[in-house]
Amino acid sequence: MSSQIPRPALNPELAHVHQALPKIGMSTKEELESYRQFLGSSFSLEDAIRGREDMLSYEERDIPGPAGPMRATIFRPKNQTRRIEDRPGVLCLHGGGLVSGNRFVGVIGMLDWVEPLSAILVTAEYRLAPEHPQPAALEDSYAALQWMNNHSTELGFNPHKLVVCGGSAGGNLAAGVTILARDRSGPKICAQVLMYPLLDDSNQGHSVQQFGDLAPWTGSNTIDALRYALGENHEHADIYTVPSRATNLHSLPPTFIDVGEADAFRDEDVSYAANLWKSGVSTELHVWPGCWHGFDARGLFV
């Protein structure tokens, strides 16, 4: 990956933000722990609701998971204006490279949906690699989807309006859970929202060559994170943990994908959108000029 390869310029209005972003390695246990502390200190419940205290209420709850209880946070509008049949439910799967992060990573932007849509948003923890390689995170996320669907009346939303979303590694899990729900005849997902998702494990493509050296998430980070999550030889990779491996994406719900032009994941995300179209899935794709990975979350959403 050479910086000499021609590449589009970064968005000049955001370039000063990018200059402040750190490059954080995770090739050793010490570096990984440092990265975990960095993300953990950057995203919290307090950050998520700051400025929204008059609009949102929240509830902390333990929900059942394959390996035991998983901590979840449920967000609701304080002033509910719609009938239950008109309220969507949103399952938010957090980022963090499958190796770090908590349920509040990336949730801030999605909370913008709660009040105007009268949505119920649930975000839950899942087990992290390398202590728990895939499919641990995938199965935990699927369990959260099932719990949310089964408790739709209690939570107060229409189960026919269930949306799954996530950014980066959360986008990987959202895409994987959506395919899994189809193949297991599980909960009916209304739509999936994938924000700069990690969908491929090859770490190839021209966008990797162009921007694989760019903070905050480098090509080396991808290699290390997938080694932890999928195993040294990617032995835990399949169509659910690596959605780009799916050859048939038929019968999936309408999909929204966005990614930055300066994101190493750009090409795999564009390719996934094309494969969804080929499978007859209604898909909307946005590529943001000059924007890097996680540009809309202070560069921390990975």
**Annotated catalytic, 293?**
yes
Give the torsion through C-alpha atoms of 188, 190, 194, 195, to 10 deg: -140
**Annotated catalytic, 112?**
no
Distances (CA, A) of 45 to 128, 173, 195, 235, 276: 20, 21, 21, 35, 34
- Torsion sign (Cα): 26, 28, 29, 33: negative
Question: Which entry of 100, 141, 168, 207 is annotated as an active-site residue?
Answer: 168
Residue 46, token pair as written in the block: 């307090």
Question: Which entry of 224, 263, 267, 269 is annotated as an active-site residue?
Answer: 263
Residues 122, 133: Cα–Cα separation, whole Å: 23
Task: Count, in order, helices (H) and strands (E) of the chain.
Answer: 11, 8
Looking at residue 254, the DSSP 8-state letter turns out to be: P
**Annotated catalytic, 263?**
yes
DSSP codes joined into one string, 124-193: E----TTTS-TTHHHHHHHHHHHHHHHTHHHHTS-GGGEEEEEETHHHHHHHHHHHHHHHTT-S---EEE
Query: Which residues are designated catalytic?
Result: 168, 263, 293
